[in-house]
Amino acid sequence: MKIDLYGLDGEKQNTEVILEDKIFSLPVNNSILSRYIRVYQANQRQGTAATKTRGEVSGGGRKPWAQKGTGRARQGSTRSPVWVGGGITHGPQPKSWRLILSRKMRQCALRAALSDKAQTGRLRILERLVLEEQKTGKLKKIISGLKMAPKYLIILGPGEQMIQTAGRNLAGVTLRNFSQVNAYDVLAAKSLILSKEALTSLENSLVKGVINE
């Protein structure tokens, strides 16, 4: 698969980039993507929500009134769930929501997400991604020049880590190292941007199966 190469000014260059078919030309497997999103979002849950049972609420040690002779319903504690300030019945307790997805399926999901961006025209390859000054305005100008839909994901190559400084305060821009990108980030973004260096590193990592997403 071939794709146009862009300069930092947002203009197309006279050359094209050949994308790895095993990564960018695959049929989009919605089943795997749906499963990946479910597992990813479940693993983001902290599972720390908790309520106190009647045994954990402070107080209530004394029987509020005698068992018999008062004419009122028998009560053993003011911390019963039927009392105001009492414990909670069947409330949430800390638990793990973690789900497991095999490494092979995670990589299949990432390839499917990348293929979706490439095949729908939402991928831009830059000749290089180097700023003379590490300033947010410089990077913002480059992104706006590409004329893509907002909510960007920029994948950085080994020599482009300084871009993190310029882009970390940009609204709607997510930056990921090529070895840390995952299918959820790719799907969540409307536009995908990376340089030739980042593209080569990403393709090599995925072909070798060593990417840690």
**Rounded to two decimals, what is the model's pTM?**
0.84
Please write the tens of the pLDDT for every residue from 3-58. Answer: 999 999 999 998 999 999 999 999 999 999 999 999 999 999 999 999 999 999 99
Residue among 114, 105, 108, 101 nearest 202 (CA): 114
User: Can you tell me the distance from the alpha carbon of 72 to that of 160, in angstroms, rounded to the nearest whole number?
Assistant: 75
Q: Which CATH superfamily is domain 2-45+101-208 in?
A: Ribosomal protein L4/L1 (3.40.1370.10)
Please write the tens of the pLDDT for every residue from 122-175. Answer: 999 999 998 888 889 999 999 999 999 999 999 999 888 788 888 888 999 999
User: Can you tell me the distance from the alpha carbon of 177 to that of 73, in angstroms, rounded to the nearest whole number?
Assistant: 66
User: Can you tell me the distance from the alpha carbon of 108 to that of 100, in angstroms, rounded to the nearest whole number?
Assistant: 15
CB distance 28 to 116 below 8 Å = yes
User: Can you tell me the distance from the alpha carbon of 37 to that of 116, in angstroms, rounded to the nearest whole number?
Assistant: 15
Percent of the chain with pLDDT over 70: 97
Domain edges within the chain: 2-45+101-208, 47-67+75-96
